[in-house]
Amino acid sequence: MLNKLQVFINKHALIILLIYALIARIFIALLYNNISIFPDSQDYIVLGNLLSQFNIENYAGNRTPGYSLLIAIANNSLLVTIFFQLCLGVLSTYFLFDFSLRKTKNKTTAFWITFITTSFLHFLFYEFAILTETLTVFLVIFSFWIIENYKLFMAETSKKYYLLLSIILSWLYLTKPLFIYFSLGFALFYLVKHFRSNLKHTILKSMLVILIPFLTYFSWNNFNKKNIGYFTNTYYFGINLAQTATSFFDKAPDEDALIRDIFTRKRDSIAAFAPKKLPMSVWFAYDELIEKTELSPQDLSAELGRISKTLFKEHPDLYAKQVFKSFYLFFGNADSMKWNYKKFANSKAKILFGLFWSQIQKHILILFNILFIIFSLKTLFLFFKTKCKVFNFNLFIVCIVFSGALAQALVAFGSNSRFAFPFLPLIVYFVVINFLDLKSKYFT
C-alpha cells in the first residue's frame, strides 16, 4: 500500500499538490467567508489608496509600500487583494516544491516538504488577512528558488541573475523592513565562500545583490526624512524599541519623567490584570502620551526611540535579557495564527479548525522549531569542525533564519512568533532533509 502511494506521488507530485492547494483554499473560503482585518491592516489600506492615486508626497510614514502596492494593484478592493494572495499561496506551493525537488532530487521528499508546509492552518489563513505575511513568505520562497534555480552560489553564474535577486529582495524589504538584512546576508555568505577565487567578480556579484535593496532603503528613508523629519523605515520604529525596553522603562532618567511615568503606570497595571498583553503596554499608554506630551505621533515615537536607545546603552544586561526572551519567543507559537475566530461563517468548522490548530498543529509547529534548532547546532558544529571550510546551502539557511531571529529580537518585543512565519518553509525543508539524512545513516 505504501509503495503504491509512493509510486503515485512520484508520478503526480506537483499535480497533487496544486489540486490540494486549490481545494484547501476553496474549502476555507466557503467555511470562513471572511476577510481578516487587524489593527495593522488599516495602515496598509490607507497607503494602498494613496499609491493608486500616485499621491504619497505628504505621507506620514506609517508603513513601507511593498504590501500596499499589492492592494493598489487590486484597485483597493480587499476582495481582489485576497484573491491575489490566494494566487500567491498557490504559486508559493509550486516554487517550494520545485526548490525542494532541485535540492533533494527526490520527488517524494519534495512533495512532503511542500505538503507539510502548506497544510499548516496559519499558512492558509494569512491569505485571508490584510497583512504582509502571505506576500512576504512568497518573496522568501521565490528568492530561495532564484538562488537555487540559477545556481547563485556558483562562481560562474551570470551577473544578471544576481540583479534579479536584488530586485526581489528590494520588494521583500519594502514589504517587511526587517528583511533588509537578507541581501547583506547573502552578499557576505557569497563573498566569504568565494573569497579565494576571482575576488573582483566575487565582490561585484555581492555588490549587485546589495545594490537595489540598499538604494531602496536609503530612498525610502530619505523620503520619510523629507516628509516627517526622521530618517526611518516607518515612524513606528521608536515605538517598537519602546516595546523592547518595556520591562525596564522605569529606569529612564527624570528628565523623561512624563513619558516614563505614564508608560510604567500602564505597564504595571497590565502586568497585574492582563500579563499576556504586557508587550503592548506602550500602545495602551499611547493616547495618554499623545495628550499629555502634546507631541505628534512621529515626534512621540522618536522620543520613545531615543529613551529606549539610552536605556539599552545604560542597561546592557537588561537589554540582553530581553533580546534573549524575544529570540526564544521567535521559535514559539503564541501569536502565529491570525484569524477572526468569532466571525467564521460555519460554527462547526470554527470549532474543528480551532481544535485542530490549538491541540495539534501548534505543537507540531513547536516540534519543527525545536528540531530546527537541534539540526542547526549540528550544522554549525560540523562547519567549525571542518575549520569553516564547508559553505553549503544548509549553512546558509541556518545563517538566514538565526540572523532573522536575532534581528527581530534586537528591535521587537511582542508578536515575535509572527516574525518567524516567513521562515516556515525553510524550517520545514531543513528539518525534513536533516531528519531523512539521520534516518539513512542510523536507521536503515
Domain boundaries, the chain: 2-149+329-442, 150-228, 237-314
- Cβ-proximal residues to 310 (8 Å cutoff; 6+ apart), any chain: 252, 253
pLDDT at 444: 64
Which H or E run includes 183? helix 180-193
323 CB-side CA count, 13 A: 14
- Cβ-proximal residues to 423 (8 Å cutoff; 6+ apart), any chain: 140, 400, 401, 404
Tally the residues of the chain: 444
Q: How far is the C-alpha of 176 from the C-alpha of 301, rounded, in Å?
A: 19
- For 172, other C-beta atoms within 10 Å of its C-beta total 25
Question: Quick check: 71 and 81 in contact, CB under 8 A?
Answer: yes
Burial class (CB in 10 A: 0-12, 13-18, 19+), 332: middle
Q: How far is the C-alpha of 118 from the C-alpha of 75, rounded, in Å?
A: 28
- Helix or strand or coil: residue 296? coil
Task: Determine the average pLDDT of the residues in 400-427.
Answer: 90
C-alpha cell at 191: 563573498
Task: Determine the average pLDDT of the residues in 253-274.
Answer: 94
The residue with cell 486549490 is: 22
Q: What is the pLDDT of residues 123-170, one digit of tens each?
A: 999 999 999 999 999 999 999 999 999 999 998 999 999 999 999 999
289 CB-side CA count, 13 A: 27
Which pTM value belongs to this model?
0.95
Confidence of residue 399 (pLDDT cuts 50, 70, 90): very high
Residue closest to 183 by CA, chosen among 155, 211, 223, 146? 211
Q: How far is the C-alpha of 241 from the C-alpha of 326, rounded, in Å?
A: 12
pLDDT at 415: 67
- φ, ψ of residue 53 to 5 degrees: the values are -95, 0
C-alpha cell at 289: 502620551
Q: What is the pLDDT of residues 185-210, one digit of tens each?
A: 999 999 999 988 888 899 999 999 99
Q: What is the pLDDT of residues 82-118, one digit of tens each?
A: 999 999 999 999 999 999 999 999 999 999 999 999 9
Q: What is the DSSP letter of 36?
A: B
Burial class (CB in 10 A: 0-12, 13-18, 19+), 243: buried
pLDDT at 316: 96
pLDDT at position 335 over 80: no
- φ, ψ of residue 152 to 5 degrees: the values are -70, -10
Residue closest to 109 by CA, chosen among 197, 18, 6? 6
pLDDT at position 60 over 80: yes
C-alpha cell at 299: 515626534
